[in-house]
Structure 1
Amino acid sequence: MWTSGNAVDCQEPVDCQVTLGLSGNTVDCRVTLWTVGNAVDCQVTLWTAGNAVDCQVTLLTVRNSVDCQETVDCQEHCGLSGNAVDCQEHCGLSATDMNSQSHPHSTRDRSQCNINHSEPTLNPPHVQCYIQGYTRARTKGARSEADQSDESPSLCGRHPTPPSRCSASEMQCGSGECIHRKWRCDGDPDCKDGSDEANCPARTCTPEQFKCDDGSCVGGGRQCNGLRDCADGSDELNCRNATQCTGPDKFRCRSGECIDMSKVCNKARDCPDWSDEPIKECNLNECLLNNGGCSHLCRDLVIGFECDCTPGLQLIDHKTCGDINECLNPGICSQICINLKGGYKCECHNGYQMDPTSGVCKAVGKEPSLIFTNRRDIRRLGLERREYTQIVEQQRNTVALDAAFSQNTIFWADLGHKAIYSTVLDKRGEPGVHTKVMENVQTPVGVAVDWIYKHLYWSDLATKTISVSTFNGTKHKVLLDRGLKEPASIAVDPLSGFLYWSDWGEPAKIEKSGMNGMDRQVLVATDIQWPNGITLLSFFPDLIKGRLYWVDSKLHMLSSVDLNGDNRKKVLQSAEFLGHPFALTVFEDRVFWTDGENKAIYGANKFSGSEVITLASNLNDPQDIIVYHELIQLSGTNWCLEKGENGGCSYMCLPAPQINKHSPKYTCVCPEGQELEEDGLRCRTEVNVSTPVLVDSTAEVQPLPGPFSPS
């Protein structure tokens, strides 16, 4: 720690005590403190003696006054009246107004720097209590800003954002943020201040629906079906005696009543409709004649009979037994299931060994680890020894993350710097020099690595595009720019040539296309509201066994679907563990996810959602997450190198989707403003053959809807 003029400069990363001349109160600077002129700019967690201030803030003092981020005129954004603060865009908080009664590890919102006029904790100079923002993907209801630097008006909590900030399909919360209009009065608070659930009419269910204890409604047929259809599980409470009439000691009357089997054929009317006393069937053993027509086992009952099968077989038509395909049951094997006559066998993919006790296919080789962004840094957590380290530090607003394992390289997007970076990890897992791959990227909220063709894909929330570049960023291309509302998480499978992404827009959905932007289609469009993270479990060329997993922050749900959009499964629905999930990743038999509301990382069984465990908690702001292990990215052929350099393409060579055996292996694409020549390899300047149109230079030009625009 050292000083320069009136400034304090601190480069110590931990526990560096500095005095800022604020009435002798000390500040514990846990991250880097630096100066700008006579100002102190410090990304810190702030504690003072007595009344503690524990907000993670940017502390900026300039000429004993309130300063606003991004060198804007404070008077345009922050109105000070006495000790009160009016917050709108960039908000400065007087030091005399800072007081905290919040949890020592919580930095969720502005309310944790409570205004308290009677007990000032810091004296002038004024400082800026500037809480880092969440985008809409990070916290309930917070609307994403175009620049994604650390501002978030929704977290200021003093004045609402001007109504013009919300679109026609959205409503504005009292706390300022925008949410989907259809979330109003749905029983689940989405606004930070809960204003979307205020003054709502009493919720009633239609006669054919079941009303959950939380007031929501589900179909009446879903009550007591063995599944949690109500978020609180109330549809499965007290069901046993009310609905079950099974087992050898029970008999269900045709009129619906349930009686003891001992009362059947006792020559007394126990069922109102006399169905317990059929004269021709009582005491008749149908199995004595031709085995009752059963192909295997015949079991005589008091009334009638039933056919049964030996183990490994099942009834096909109530009488004939056939082989059971146990492999159709998800999770019956950890990875590979081989159906046999009368049974099945489990095997593991290359590189995995089956645990003899649990039957789980475990990865061979180095210890797998979780790598996740924590907004201000990137961290690593071993899944076996639980070694916990910081691998990239001093970041501004790090969100999206992916890696190229064969090159020991990680890529991440920083919303504050509007850039995508990379670094190489050495053998000890320590990062090297940070390289800027792409700059002037507006709002990169999703990043995916093509480890075979050495390309980087990302989604941009502000420009509503999905783009691709080389690893070094020298060549890049906007791949999709039409029909995207709010593109978020993305994933790629270069073995099959497909790209997948989630879209928060209205209507929300999950889509896929070729990694060259062709063959676009919707995978999930129903029972989906806020799809945040997606991840793939791919077994190319058997795409049926591959799965896409995603988390829905509105429905508090983790689901999966096959890569054709079929065989959808609900893995877990829990407001407790999926309060506001952001990203997820899958490895072996486990699924792992980050949760912004709980500031934690969880893991569970990927088939059933059972065995939920907490791997990390009390985090600053967990965002994207991946499993780092070489077996996740399987080796494959780079077809662009099979016939010369770059597939003969003059610009970029991208993998094509492998729809069938006749599909091309790759296609060439050109930079912006150019198009392919007839040979499909070389690029030329685009020729505009359309009729010239005079356009008013002052008018706003809206893009035409593309062929894939949602209806």
Structure 2
Amino acid sequence: MTSVSLLTGSVMVKRIVPMGQTSLPVIPVLSDGQFQCSSGHCIQEHFRCDGERNCHDLSDELDCPPRYPGDRYCREEKFQCDNHLCVEMRDLCDGSNYTCNTLQRFQCNNHKCIPLYQKCDGIDNCGDGSDENNMSICSHRPRPCILNEFRCANQKCIGSNKICDHADDCGDSSDELGCYTASNCTVGGCEQTCTDLKDGGYVCHSIRGFRISPNNPKICNDIDECAEFTHNCSQLCTNLNGTHACSCREGFVAEINGVCRLEQGAITLIYSDSPEIRAFNLTSHTAKYVIKGDNIESLDYEPVSGIVYWTDSYGKTIKRSYLPGSPERANVTMGYAQNLDIESRAKPTGMAVDWAGLNLYWSETDRTGNKPRGSILVSTLDGRYRHSIIATGLEVPTSVVVDPDHGYMFWIDIGSIPKIETSWMDGSKRRIIVSDAISQPTGLSIDFAMEHTIYWVDVKLNKIEMMREDGTRRTLVAYGNYLKHPLSLDVFESSIYWVTRDSGEIYSMDKFGRGVPVKLPGEFANPSSIKGAS
């Protein structure tokens, strides 16, 4: 069996296709507010005639009326191509043609044109990762099993002679479940599929999306991909019989393979860059200097009032400022720091804003004694009513995050025994949720849109991992030297963004580890903390 994904309204549905049939028939089904490209893909109707290439074949920009004064198709600040597409002025005369012969070459999302053989070769030839997009053009498809091979539940192919040999050759035990040493498939009574064994007997097995029941090896149970954390939905997952469906939260729209994008506006990455806080627009790829500090180590953003909070490791205090350009401060071009007078002999490290209770949480480390002593404190957002909530059993905390929706707090300790801990937001009900296979975790983030999933980075092991808030379903997202020692991270939409320790760069990647890391353009001095905002 194989599977294909169809976009139906705002829901991505995966369907099972019988063996031997490579695809479902193409049946154009449009929901209200959608436009179908000539290639068969569907996009939101409001992307039609917007001057941007949303259909790969440009069919969304054909036969469009002028939209601006002077019979122009583009705004004055953009260059209007003869085919009515609008490009940035900075892209003029850059040696890259906006059009591309797609029979021999591949058109990148950033309009760069590369040889077709460079697509899906594991290298970011485009510079924006679009030629290695594992969510669509490079999506993994299991190779067909050849004659005398058995398809495992995890899609691996093994020799038929290895079925029911009392060894887990598949790696998921699916070759050892449903084994019967007598009779054959004709009278076996398997619910879904059956394979006769060479030396007699038979084995029942399941199609994709199901697994053999542990209670009755002849029947198949549905796999709940949502509960088992194997769904790859950017935000919401609904289990279906034999498959699952992806959908998006309010304010987001669904794209290919369960990816959710912001419906309106642009994502801004707020990051500390040595003594400054800068804002990077992911649409225009431009960065601006917004706040000047001293030695900014960590930061967080309170979206309701548009205020950035940060730790000053030099002054051992915490400061805040309105974020220039936010909707609340549209005319402000430069933020001015307000010292919250939270001074201590201990060095503040991680911090988090509780936007619901309007409190500020931070961790700090006191190294004045023979052994470092860590603590976690809380105050109101203006710095008043400060008190410690975690004061024992903590050595070197590096990051702290809070989940006001569920009332939990999470933090990292890289002391003599590295670990990730959690507690209620008042410091009670404390417990360790990760203590094995970690070395130097330094950054935490909560993906609130995807069922409050916890992400973290390990700067020494070059790892990015994720798990549920209770510590279950721990999953390796990315691993290897290509991560360049991730120091801190945040998750927004369908991507992870992280800061590298040694090279001082910012990278992004699909939050399930599909595709390749993409380096954000721009010059960075010494970035150390990052936060996404819309």
Deviation string, structure 1 residues 496-554 (Cα, Å, up to 9, x no partner): 11111101101011111111111111111111111101111236xx9xx4321111112
Q: Which residue does 1:307 correspond to in 2?
A: 204
- Give the Cα separation in 1 of the matches to 2:438 and 2:208: 40
> What is the CA-CA distance between 1:609 and the residue it aligns to?
5.2
Deviation string, structure 1 residues 245-299 (Cα, Å, up to 9, x no partner): x753369xxxxxx99989xxxxxxxxxxxxxxxxxx99x98233x2x23123334
Q: Residues 363 and 400 of structure 2 are in contact (CA less than 8 Å); yes or no, is this contact kept in structure 1? A: yes
Q: Which residue does 1:443 correspond to in 2?
A: 347
What TM-score comes out, normalization by structure 1 length?
Answer: 0.46
Match of 1:418 among 312, 316, 320: 316
Q: Residues 508 and 520 of structure 2 are in contact (CA less than 8 Å); yes or no, is this contact kept in structure 1? A: yes
- Give the Cα separation in 2 of the matches to 1:312 and 1:556: 32
Q: Which residue does 2:421 correspond to in 1?
A: 511
Q: Which residue does 2:239 correspond to in 1?
A: 339
> What is the CA-CA distance between 1:414 and the residue it aligns to?
1.3
Q: 1:311/1:572 Cα in 2 relative to 1: closer, same or farther (>3 Å)?
A: closer
Match of 1:549 among 442, 455, 475: 455
Deviation string, structure 1 residues 114-170 (Cα, Å, up to 9, x no partner): xxxxxxxxxxxxxxxxxxxxxxxxxxxxxxxxxxxxxxxxxxxxxxxxxxxxxxxxx
Q: Residues 353 and 359 of structure 2 are in contact (CA less than 8 Å); yes or no, is this contact kept in structure 1? A: yes
Residue 287, structure 1, aligned to residue 190, structure 2: no
- Give the Cα separation in 1 of the matches to 2:483 and 2:321: 32
Q: Which residue does 1:69 correspond to in 2?
A: none
- Give the Cα separation in 1 of the matches to 2:210 and 2:159: 30
Q: Which residue does 2:511 correspond to in 1?
A: 606
Residue 297, structure 1, aligned to residue 193, structure 2: yes
Where do residues 453-602 of structure 1 align in structure 2 (5 Å cutoff)?
A: 453-462=357-366, 464-538=374-448, 545-579=451-485, 581-602=486-507
Q: Residues 208 and 242 of structure 2 are in contact (CA less than 8 Å); yes or no, is this contact kept in structure 1? A: yes
Q: Which residue does 1:196 correspond to in 2?
A: none
User: Could you tell me which amino acid in structure 2 is paired with residue 352 of structure 1?
Assistant: F
Residue 381, structure 1, aligned to residue 285, structure 2: no
Match of 1:354 among 254, 258, 270: 254
Q: 1:299/1:439 Cα in 2 relative to 1: closer, same or farther (>3 Å)?
A: closer
- Give the Cα separation in 2 of the matches to 1:517 and 1:329: 28
Q: Residues 404 and 451 of structure 1 are in contact (CA less than 8 Å); yes or no, is this contact kept in structure 2? A: yes
Q: Residues 296 and 320 of structure 1 are in contact (CA less than 8 Å); yes or no, is this contact kept in structure 2? A: yes
SS at the partner of 2:304? Answer: helix
- Give the Cα separation in 1 of the matches to 2:159 and 2:294: 70
Q: 1:464/1:323 Cα in 2 relative to 1: closer, same or farther (>3 Å)?
A: closer
- Give the Cα separation in 2 of the matches to 1:353 and 1:524: 34
Residue 372, structure 1, aligned to residue 271, structure 2: yes
Q: Residues 412 and 420 of structure 1 are in contact (CA less than 8 Å); yes or no, is this contact kept in structure 2? A: yes
Q: Which structure dedicates a bigger proportion of its chain to strand?
A: 2
- Give the Cα separation in 2 of the matches to 1:511 and 1:417: 28
Q: Residues 600 and 616 of structure 1 are in contact (CA less than 8 Å); yes or no, is this contact kept in structure 2? A: no
Q: Residues 465 and 480 of structure 1 are in contact (CA less than 8 Å); yes or no, is this contact kept in structure 2? A: yes
Deviation string, structure 1 residues 433-481 (Cα, Å, up to 9, x no partner): 3211134233111111011111111111125211111111132112211
Residue 407, structure 1, aligned to residue 313, structure 2: no
SS at the partner of 1:475? Answer: coil
> What is the CA-CA distance between 1:334 and the residue it aligns to?
2.0
Q: Which residue does 1:168 correspond to in 2?
A: none
Q: 1:616/1:524 Cα in 2 relative to 1: closer, same or farther (>3 Å)?
A: farther
> What is the CA-CA distance between 1:301 and the residue it aligns to?
5.2
Where do residues 141-290 of structure 1 align in structure 2 (5 Å cutoff)?
A: 247-249=146-148, 286-288=184-186, 290=187
Residue 623, structure 1, aligned to residue 528, structure 2: yes
> What is the CA-CA distance between 1:310 and the residue it aligns to?
5.4
Stretch moving more, 401-410 or 607-616 = 607-616
Q: Residues 506 and 519 of structure 2 are in contact (CA less than 8 Å); yes or no, is this contact kept in structure 1? A: yes
SS at the partner of 1:576? Answer: helix
Q: 1:285/1:583 Cα in 2 relative to 1: closer, same or farther (>3 Å)?
A: same
Match of 2:336 among 429, 433, 438: 433
SS at the partner of 2:456? Answer: strand
Q: 1:412/1:493 Cα in 2 relative to 1: closer, same or farther (>3 Å)?
A: same
Q: Which residue does 1:268 correspond to in 2?
A: none
Match of 1:321 among 220, 226, 232: 220
User: Could you tell me which amino acid in structure 2 is paired with residue 342 of structure 1?
Assistant: G
- Give the Cα separation in 1 of the matches to 2:264 and 2:460: 38
- Give the Cα separation in 1 of the matches to 2:430 and 2:465: 22
Q: 1:606/1:409 Cα in 2 relative to 1: closer, same or farther (>3 Å)?
A: same
SS at the partner of 2:394? Answer: coil
- Give the Cα separation in 1 of the matches to 2:148 and 2:473: 36
- Give the Cα separation in 1 of the matches to 2:466 and 2:229: 14
> What is the CA-CA distance between 1:617 and the residue it aligns to?
5.8
Q: Residues 423 and 431 of structure 1 are in contact (CA less than 8 Å); yes or no, is this contact kept in structure 2? A: no
- Give the Cα separation in 2 of the matches to 1:320 and 1:505: 50
- Give the Cα separation in 1 of the matches to 2:413 and 2:526: 22
- Give the Cα separation in 1 of the matches to 2:230 and 2:331: 38
SS at the partner of 1:438? Answer: coil
Q: Residues 252 and 262 of structure 2 are in contact (CA less than 8 Å); yes or no, is this contact kept in structure 1? A: yes
> What is the CA-CA distance between 1:370 and the residue it aligns to?
0.7
RMSD: 2.9
Q: 1:525/1:339 Cα in 2 relative to 1: closer, same or farther (>3 Å)?
A: same
Q: Residues 249 and 260 of structure 1 are in contact (CA less than 8 Å); yes or no, is this contact kept in structure 2? A: yes
Where do residues 655-694 of structure 1 align in structure 2 (5 Å cutoff)?
A: none
- Give the Cα separation in 1 of the matches to 2:397 and 2:158: 57
Q: 1:401/1:299 Cα in 2 relative to 1: closer, same or farther (>3 Å)?
A: same
- Give the Cα separation in 1 of the matches to 2:290 and 2:374: 31
Deviation string, structure 1 residues 67-122 (Cα, Å, up to 9, x no partner): xxxxxxxxxxxxxxxxxxxxxxxxxxxxxxxxxxxxxxxxxxxxxxxxxxxxxxxx
Q: 1:521/1:430 Cα in 2 relative to 1: closer, same or farther (>3 Å)?
A: farther
Q: Residues 533 and 582 of structure 1 are in contact (CA less than 8 Å); yes or no, is this contact kept in structure 2? A: yes
Q: Residues 420 and 433 of structure 2 are in contact (CA less than 8 Å); yes or no, is this contact kept in structure 1? A: yes
Q: Residues 463 and 483 of structure 2 are in contact (CA less than 8 Å); yes or no, is this contact kept in structure 1? A: no
Q: Residues 403 and 410 of structure 1 are in contact (CA less than 8 Å); yes or no, is this contact kept in structure 2? A: yes
SS at the partner of 1:551? Answer: strand
User: Could you tell me which amino acid in structure 2 is paired with residue 567 of structure 1?
Assistant: R
Deviation string, structure 1 residues 409-447 (Cα, Å, up to 9, x no partner): 001111112221111122257344321113423311111
- Give the Cα separation in 2 of the matches to 1:622 and 1:456: 23
- Give the Cα separation in 2 of the matches to 1:609 and 1:552: 19
User: Could you tell me which amino acid in structure 2 is paired with residue 430 of structure 1?
Assistant: T
- Give the Cα separation in 1 of the matches to 2:445 and 2:515: 19
- Give the Cα separation in 2 of the matches to 1:329 and 1:413: 35
- Give the Cα separation in 1 of the matches to 2:149 and 2:193: 21
> What is the CA-CA distance between 1:408 and the residue it aligns to?
0.6
- Give the Cα separation in 2 of the matches to 1:417 and 1:586: 29
SS at the partner of 1:623? Answer: strand
What runs of 5+ residues in structure 2 fail to find an aligned partner?
A: 1-142, 151-156, 162-179, 324-328, 367-372
User: Could you tell me which amino acid in structure 1 is paired with residue 444 of structure 2?
Assistant: I
Q: 1:310/1:552 Cα in 2 relative to 1: closer, same or farther (>3 Å)?
A: closer
